[in-house]
Chain A
Amino acid sequence: MATAPPISRPQDVPQALRATDEPPVVRAALILATVAFLSLFLFVPLAAVFAEALRKGWQAYFASFRDPHCLAAVRLTLLVAAISVPLNLVFGLMASWAIAKFEFRGKSLLITLIDLPFAISPVVSGLIYVLIFGMQGWFGHWLDARGVQVIFAVPGIVLATIFVTFPFVAREVIPLMQEQGTEEEEAAVSLGAGGWQTFFRVTLPNVKWAVLYGVILSNARAMGNSAPSRSSRDIFADAPTRCPSTRRCFTTSTTSSRPSPRRPCWRRWRW
């Protein structure tokens, strides 16, 4: 590394083609292909979201927030995210510490289990909670006798959201923590720092961006997911409504008639 002087660095021949560059034609074609593909699958759909939302102007857009249904839905979405994201943050950090800083048997199995909610269809996860807490399920009658409602209510939505967003923080933090090793923490401990001190002064500053990214991902998923709460709630019309889905929209689209693309009921959920 240190011995080789920069004999023919590419900067010395500014106009010439480097051996590792494509001809300009190929380069332009690739960029064009990228833009075309992304336009078709990404930009136009995103533009459509905003165009639809603002079609009747800003006033109509903000008026839809005054609709009590929608307000309740927004409030519920925020509440669910406010409960599930901090929980997953704390347990994601704990899992990362245990997995990244220690060696133990069954570690890869544990990682696979943490990843599992990511690969499971959110509909399946919703069904799981119906099986446990529903009237036909394990705890359904017991809870019902005590007047506690879990599914078709806020706790069910929170549980399903926690399940779906469980892996994100841990998934982001574990690789980084593993890469950083344990030397810094060992140094801190040998200098007399306590466990919490070590964690907050040494480990956390090192992984803060990964933690932040994991929280953002998990928040995005918590706010944007409709499937688990749907299967654990939507059978009853008067159940709490979350923003991305309403019962009416889904039942009309599941009766196998072709839903017209401009059906008014989902226009309320355009954001």
Chain B
Amino acid sequence: MTASATRRVLPGFGLTMGCTMLYLSLVVLVPLAALIARGGGMGWRAFWEAAASPRVIASYRLTFGAALAAAAINAAFGTVVAWVLVRYRFPGRRLIDAMVDLPFALPTAVSGIALTAIYAKNGWIGRHLDPWGVEVAFTPLGIVVALTFIGLPFVVRTLQPALADLDREVEEAAASLGATRLQVVGRVILPAILPALLTGFALALARGIGEYGSVVFIAGNMPMRTEIASLLIITKLEQYDVAGASAVAIVMLAVSLLMLLAINGLQRLAGRRYQGGL
């Protein structure tokens, strides 16, 4: 089936493509052009000063570090959660399965408030951590907790279909050839789900870098210590430093774009593996 043949048979390409391009331009492209024009208009030196001052650098480090840590936690435990939900049958499985989506559906401010309330020194969990000298709320650790909460559905939901698609017969073959269960997991299962795992990791990371609503409550928002980049943009905006806010936003935007290209590359890689396997 060639492209031209398809185009002849099915109607509506011009209409839908035109509307899509129009809508995309209005909603996404023109706004992004405005941002870049704004940042480009301020000159390299001013841009560098705004986007690389010590306070901003500290916020980048915190944002990316916390998002990386949270995505790594989610990749490890999310794999276990997805595995348990796909492979095992136990009471409450369906309930847990349904609840995994909730961090996504919950207003981010609500999750931030709830996490702050339970991880603060007098909260349900914070109360038991305090004697050990572990502070969660209003420290970088709190930000990691909030981002872990936010990112969990992405890893679990990307992994579940991949795990469900796994052929049991391949595992059986490996076992019958003398592989131990650990070897089967490491050599057969893990390589097969690796693209999905990486995609979930990248999605959780992208979401964590941009997250705002839940983090501001639990972070404490102290400059240089627990101030994330998104908050810094708003702080600059409130001081009417629009150019400075744009500079930080452009850096964040560039990182988001890179993340997205990486995700799409991974998915293409996963698709090729899948086709090669057939």
A residues in contact (CB < 8 Å) with B: 19-20, 22-23, 27, 30-31, 33-35, 37-38, 40-46, 48-49, 52, 91, 94-95, 97-99, 101-104, 108, 110-125, 127-132, 134, 136-138, 159, 162-163, 166, 182, 185-186, 189-190, 194-195, 198-199, 217, 220-221, 223-227, 230-231, 235, 243-245, 250, 253-254, 256, 258-259, 261-262, 266, 269-271
For chain B, residues 135 to 182, give those with C-beta under 8 angstroms from any C-beta of chain A: 137-138, 145, 148-149, 152, 168, 171-172, 175-176, 181
Are B90 and A127 within 8 A (Cβ)? no
What distance in Å separates the Cβ of A133 from its nearest Cβ neighbour in chain B?
A: 9
User: In the complex the two chains form, is A31's CB within 8 Å of B117's CB?
Assistant: no
- CB-contact partner of A42 in B3, B16, B100, under 8 A: B100
Complex alpha-carbon distance, A35 and B84, angstroms: 10
Chain B binding surface SS class: helix
Q: Are B264 and A122 in contact (CB under 8 A)?
A: no
Chain A residues in 8 Å Cβ range of B113: 49, 52, 266, 269-270
Residue from the list B209, B227, B237, B263 in contact with A130, Cβ < 8 A: B237
Q: Assess the B107–A225 pair: CB atoms within 8 A.
A: yes
Let me know if B246 is at the binding interface, CB within 8 A: yes
Q: Which residue of the partner chain, among A34, A41, A220, A254, contacts B96 with CB atoms under 8 Å?
A: A34
Contact A131 B38 (CB under 8 A): yes
Q: Given A19-B171, A44-B124, A253-B221: A127 and B117 within 8 A (CB)? A: no
Query: Looking across the interface, which residue of chain A has its beta carbon closest to that of B184?
Result: A20
In Å, the complex CA distance between A132 and B28 comes to 12
| A residues near B81, Cβ cutoff 8 Å | 34, 37-38
CB of B257 within 8 A of CB of A116, answer yes
Q: When the two chains form their complex, are residues B175 and A235 in contact, meaning their CB atoms are under 8 A apart?
A: no
Q: What are 25 A-B pairs at a CB distance below 8 A?
A: A23-B181, A41-B145, A46-B102, A46-B106, A46-B114, A52-B117, A91-B20, A94-B15, A101-B10, A110-B20, A121-B209, A122-B212, A123-B234, A127-B233, A128-B31, A136-B242, A138-B34, A182-B10, A199-B12, A224-B110, A226-B213, A231-B234, A244-B110, A254-B235, A258-B138
B230 touches A123 (CB 8 A): yes
Cα–Cα, bound, A95→B19 (Å) = 8
Question: At the interface, yes or no: B60 with Cβ under 8 Å from chain A?
Answer: no
Majority secondary structure, A binding face: helix
Q: Which residue of A lies closest to B121 (CB)?
A: A261
A118 contacts B118, C-beta separation under 8 Å: no
Check A20 against B96 for contact (C-beta < 8 Å): no
Find out whether the CB atom of B118 lies under 8 angstroms from the CB atom of A44. Answer: yes
B117:A119 contact, CB within 8 angstroms? no
Contact assessment for B230 and A227 in the assembled complex, using a CB-CB cutoff below 8 Å: yes
In the bound complex, do residue B216 and residue A137 qualify as a contact, i.e. CB atoms below 8 Å apart?
no
Q: Is B102 a contact of A224 with CB atoms below 8 Å? A: no
By a CB distance below 8 angstroms, the chain B residues around A110 are: 20, 24
Contacts between the two chains (Cβ within 8 Å), count: 297
When A41-B149, A49-B110, A115-B260 are in contact, do A137 and B34 touch as well, CB less than 8 Å?
yes
Distance in Å from the Cβ of B29 to the closest Cβ of chain A?
7
Interface-centre pick from B29, B34, B77, B235 (highest chain A CB count, 10 A): B34
Partner of A245, one of B83, B109, B137, B220: B109
**Is B278's beta carbon under 8 Å from chain A?**
no
- The distance in angstroms between the C-alpha atoms of A34 and B220, with both chains bound, is 29
Additional A-B contact list (17), CB under 8 Å, known A111-B264, A261-B116: A19-B172, A20-B184, A31-B84, A37-B81, A44-B124, A44-B125, A48-B124, A94-B15, A114-B24, A116-B257, A117-B27, A119-B259, A128-B32, A189-B11, A221-B104, A256-B222, A261-B123
A121 pairs with B252, CB closer than 8 A: yes
A266, chain B: closest CB distance, angstroms: 6
CA A226 to CA B108, docked complex, whole Å: 7
Contact between chains at B181 and A186 (CB < 8 Å): no
Determine if A94 and B16 form an interchain contact, defined as CB atoms under 8 angstroms apart: yes
The reply to whether A244 and B108 form a contact with Cβ atoms under 8 Å apart is yes
* Shortest Cβ gap from B205 to chain A (Å): 10
A195 in complex: contacting residue of B12, B118, B148, B260, CB < 8 Å: B12
- Residue contact A98 to B172, C-beta cutoff 8 Å: no
Q: A44-B118, A244-B108 are in contact. Are A94 and B19 (CB under 8 A)?
A: yes
Min CB distance A197 to B, Å, is 10
CA distance A74 to B176 in the complex (A): 61
A19 touches B117 (CB 8 A): no
Let me know if B120 is at the binding interface, CB within 8 A: yes
Whole-angstrom distance between the Cβ of A33 and the nearest chain B Cβ: 6
Report Cα–Cα, A243/B107, bound state, in Å.
Answer: 10
Contact check, A224 vs B107: say whether CB atoms are below 8 A apart: yes
Contact A227 B108 (CB under 8 A): yes
- Whether A102 contacts B242 by the Cβ 8 Å rule is no
Residues 215-260 of B at the A interface (beta carbon under 8 Å): 216-217, 220-223, 227, 229-231, 233-235, 237-238, 242, 245-246, 249, 252-253, 256-257, 259-260
